[in-house]
Amino acid sequence: MKLGDTPLVDFTRDRLHRETLRSFGRYELTTAYTPAGQLQRQHLNSLLSDRDYTWNDNGELIRISSPRQTRSYSYSTTGRLTSVHTTAANLDIRIPYATDPAGNRLPDPELHPDSTLSMWPDNRIARDAHYLYRYDRYGRLTEKT
């Protein structure tokens, strides 16, 4: 991308057309991939901007590490996200995720310990942390407020 004859951003791609280098001004973002094609590492010519990605044998992202923080992901045996654990200086947060048998996310059991919801009726989510959902008689979403 150029402004007149001045390049603003330039991309380099590998033979699979994945971005491997992005140059913008004096910055360069280098990206590396695993042999399976998953994101492995990103480096922005600054140590504070390095990120390493770790995957398990099922192809699930289990960790993103950087000099400032680490985020770890846990999954059920069926591959559903069960928790995210973030650690950094003066920070240690674990967020659990529960799902019903259809895989719909349920209210956080630690934030809503009195919730008795174990599944969404008719496999329709009625509410989440931000919205209320309404459906027509055919089960189609008609309103999100």
The predicted-structure confidence for 95-137, as pLDDT tens digits, reads as follows 888 887 778 777 776 666 666 666 677 777 787 767 888 999 8
Same domain, 88 and 107: no
Banded pLDDT at 36 (limits 50, 70, 90): very high
The pLDDT, as a whole number, for residue 117 is 66
3-state secondary structure at position 42: strand
- Boundaries of domain holding 31: 2-96
For 49, phi and psi rounded to 5 degrees?
-110, 10
Number of folded domains in the chain? 2
59 CB-near residues (< 8 Å, 6+ apart): 36, 38
Task: Please work out, in degrees rounded to the nearest 5, the angle formed at the alpha carbon of residue 67 by the alpha carbons of 65 and 68.
Answer: 95
10 CB-near residues (< 8 Å, 6+ apart): 1, 22, 23, 24
Task: Please work out, in degrees rounded to the nearest 5, the angle formed at the alpha carbon of residue 125 by the alpha carbons of 129 and 104.
Answer: 90
Choose between 46 and 94: higher pLDDT: 94
Same domain, 86 and 107: no
pTM equals 0.73
Among the three residues 96, 119, 136, which one is the final residue of a domain in this structure?
A: 96
Burial of 99: CB neighbours in 10 Å, binned 0-12, 13-18, 19+: middle
